[in-house]
Amino acid sequence: MRRTVIAGNWKMNMTPSQTAAFIKELAPCVAGKDACDIVLCVPYVDIATAVEAAKGTNIKIGAENVHFEEKGAYTGEVSCAMLKEIGAEYVIIGHSERRQYFGETDTTVNLRTKAALAAGFKAIVCLGEVKDERLAGITDEIVSMQTKLDLAGISAEDLKNVIIAYEPVWAIGTGLTATPEQADETCGVIRKTIADLYGDEAAEAITIQYGGSMNDKNAAELLAKVNVDGGLIGGASLKVDAFTAIVDAANA
Ligand code: PEP
């Protein structure tokens, strides 16, 4: 059976001291709730603190991006080796905010994903349609194309360390949520695309999260859907009670 993964994406929030305090408060709330993997993806400067604070707990730590080159003249970028050395285990790649504000394309998402997998990370690869694409009725084509481009050249063996986060862009940070039926249907399209690329067994095994204003109120309904294997959570991952409630929903 595939794993349910509840992952927070803190975006540009929290200082190192706030990170330590948050994890200290969260850890006892989620202790022993092992029906899902629990991950916090935090700003680069918070990672070392987060790893230290999460030691001995069931919370894993990830980054929000990584560069694909090993090293060199790439001002402002961070490499896989840097993240490995400070203990990050997961990395988000291709978040819609990276695509929208920082020029990420499916090509760079693919390069980053390959580099992250080669370095031994679990890669949370984000994709999803914008509002106009949903209104135009081309959501299935868009997510299928992104899946193919983002995973191009990735082996079946490496796919075992890939998590897909289906995030309809119109639902991220807007308070709008895809209905459980929409989330299930589109995650199903992604799973079918994986089946076409890698076979049924790989498609059954891959974790496909939903992301887009998942919160303590709607998590249970979304997570109950057969094709939704967890959540990538922005706003609600910044509140201990809301994030705990989502973990609880995944453990119900
Ligand atoms: C996200 O950051 O991936 C996200 C889904 O944000 P939010 O939950 O705030 O919509």
Output the DSSP codes for 154-196: --HHHHTTEEEEE--GGGTTTS----HHHHHHHHHHHHHHHHH
Pocket of ligand 1 (CB under 6 A): 9, 11, 95, 167, 172-173, 211-214, 232-236
Catalytic, 95? Answer yes
pLDDT at 28: 98
Catalytic, 129? Answer no
Is residue 164 a contact partner of residue 208, using CB atoms and an 8 Å limit?
A: yes
Per-residue pLDDT of the chain (252 residues; tens, 9 = 90+): 899 999 999 999 999 999 999 999 999 999 999 999 999 999 999 999 999 999 999 999 999 999 999 999 999 999 999 999 999 999 999 999 999 999 999 999 999 999 999 999 999 999 999 999 999 999 999 999 999 999 999 999 999 999 999 999 999 988 888 999 999 999 999 999 999 999 999 999 999 999 999 999 999 999 999 999 999 999 999 999 999 999 999 999
Alpha carbon of 235 to ligand 1 centroid (Å): 6
Count other C-beta atoms under 10 Å from residue 137's C-beta. Answer: 8
Q: Which one of the listed residues 64, 129, 133, 167 is annotated catalytic?
A: 167
Alpha carbon of 69 to ligand 1 centroid (Å): 27
Note the pTM of the prediction, 2 decimals: 0.97
